[in-house]
């Protein structure tokens, strides 16, 4: 009987070691999930700020164009002031109403995507860890019950039924091994799932933020080029007129 | 800009809530594992007692 007890004690000790390792893995996985979420949030916030700054910078460039136009209008006293007023109106609309509305819409999309990412990561991690904790406890409770039953039977009939007791002890050891492996597998799956879901969510957030804002910036850039080209045309027109007048 | 500040605060809040839920569950699950380890240690004590009893019985026989 002493040999069985030594083996049983060894299995129990190894299971305790496995559980301590699981605790360490869980701690690492939890910290990793927290870091991933914090980084995803930081990246989203940075992205939103950067894109807003880009849009504002573009607005500032347009404001510069507007000032040039206004100065030109004042200096040359052009007849086509109405057309220039209309261009100034376009700039204003783009800078204030359209731009802020589009950015607000984009921010909403980014935040919604991040919110979904948070919920997904939280759900995956919480569900996984709860399962791990329950499995560990279930494993030890199972082990205790089986061991007590084994000891009881061993006391009563070890000499008569040694082989049966040995078989039962092997069943207990196998069940314990299976449960420990299930815990370890669950941790691996959880960590993998968490990492995958957050990466997917982060890509979605970046894509949602990037595309519409790039469109705004492109649109503003095109508008600026159009305004500058119109301004060049008007300057050329004025110069032609002056040249013609000089020639006459 | 205040809209951006609100957005940042909202995002921070969502992330903090999720991180707290993860940390709480980790703590709760670790407590369960600690309870389980307690059961295992209790079991080892029981095994030790059995081993000691075995030894005494062997000594008595000899």
Where does the pLDDT of residue A100 fall: very low under 50, low under 70, confident under 90, or very high at 90 and above?
Answer: low
Buried b (16+ CB within 10 A) or exposed e, B49-58: ebbeeeeeee
pLDDT digits (tens, 9 = 90+) for A51-76: 666 666 666 666 665 565 556 555 55
CB atoms within 10 A of CB A43: 15
DSSP letters for A143-211: HHHHHHHHHHHHHHHTTTSHHHHHHHHHHHHHHHHHHHHHHHHHHHHHHHHHHHHHHHHHHHHHHHHHH
Look at B10 and A111 and tell me if their CB atoms are within 8 Å: yes
Which among B11, B44, B47 has the least Cβ separation from residue A44?
B11
Does A125 contact B at CB distance below 8 Å? yes
Does A49 contact B at CB distance below 8 Å? yes
Query: A121-130, A140-149, B11-20: which has the highest mean pLDDT?
Result: B11-20
Does A132 contact B at CB distance below 8 Å? yes
How many H helices and E strands in chain A? 4, 0
pLDDT digits (tens, 9 = 90+) for A147-164: 676 666 655 554 444 455
Contacts of A34 in chain B (CB under 8 A): 19, 22-23
A78 backbone φψ class: left, alpha, beta (φ>0; ψ -120 to 50)? beta
pLDDT digits (tens, 9 = 90+) for A209-246: 566 556 666 766 676 677 677 777 777 777 787 788 88
Count of pairs with CB atoms under 8 A, one residue in A, one in B: 140
pLDDT digits (tens, 9 = 90+) for A1-45: 567 677 778 777 877 887 787 788 778 777 877 777 777 777 767
- What pLDDT, on the 0 to 100 scale, is given for residue A160? 47
């Amino acid at each position: 009987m002493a040999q069985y007890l030594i083996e049983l004690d060894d299995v129990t000790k190894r299971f305790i070691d496995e559980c301590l390792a699981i605790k360490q893995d869980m701690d690492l996985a939890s910290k990793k999930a927290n870091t991933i979420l914090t980084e995803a949030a930081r990246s989203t916030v940075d992205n939103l700020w950067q894109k807003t700054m880009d849009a504002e910078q573009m607005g500032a460039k347009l404001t510069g164009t507007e000032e040039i136009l206004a100065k030109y209008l004042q200096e040359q006293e052009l007849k086509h002031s109405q057309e220039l007023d209309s261009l100034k109106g376009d700039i204003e609309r783009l800078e204030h109403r359209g731009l802020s509305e589009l950015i607000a819409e984009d921010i909403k999309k980014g935040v919604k995507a991040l919110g979904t990412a948070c919920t997904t990561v939280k759900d995956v991690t919480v569900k996984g860890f709860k399962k791990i904790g329950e499995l560990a406890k279930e494993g030890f409770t199972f082990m205790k019950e089986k061991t007590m039953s084994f000891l009881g039977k061993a006391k009563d009939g070890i000499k008569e039924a040694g082989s049966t007791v040995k078989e039962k002890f092997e069943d207990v050891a196998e069940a314990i091994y299976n449960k420990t492996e299930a815990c370890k597998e669950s941790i691996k799956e959880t960590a993998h799932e968490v990492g995958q879901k957050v990466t997917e969510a982060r890509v979605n957030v970046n894509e949602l933020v990037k595309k519409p804002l790039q469109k705004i910036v492109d649109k503003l850039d095109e508008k600026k080029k159009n305004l500058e080209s119109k301004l060049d045309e008007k300057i050329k027109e004025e110069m032609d007129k002056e040249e013609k007048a000089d020639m006459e | 800009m205040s809209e951006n500040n609100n957005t940042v605060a909202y995002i921070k809040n969502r992330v903090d809530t999720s991180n707290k839920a993860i940390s709480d569950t980790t703590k709760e699950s670790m407590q369960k594992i600690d309870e389980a380890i307690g059961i295992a240690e209790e079991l080892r004590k029981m095994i030790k007692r059995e081993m000691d009893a075995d030894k005494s019985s062997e000594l008595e026989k000899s």
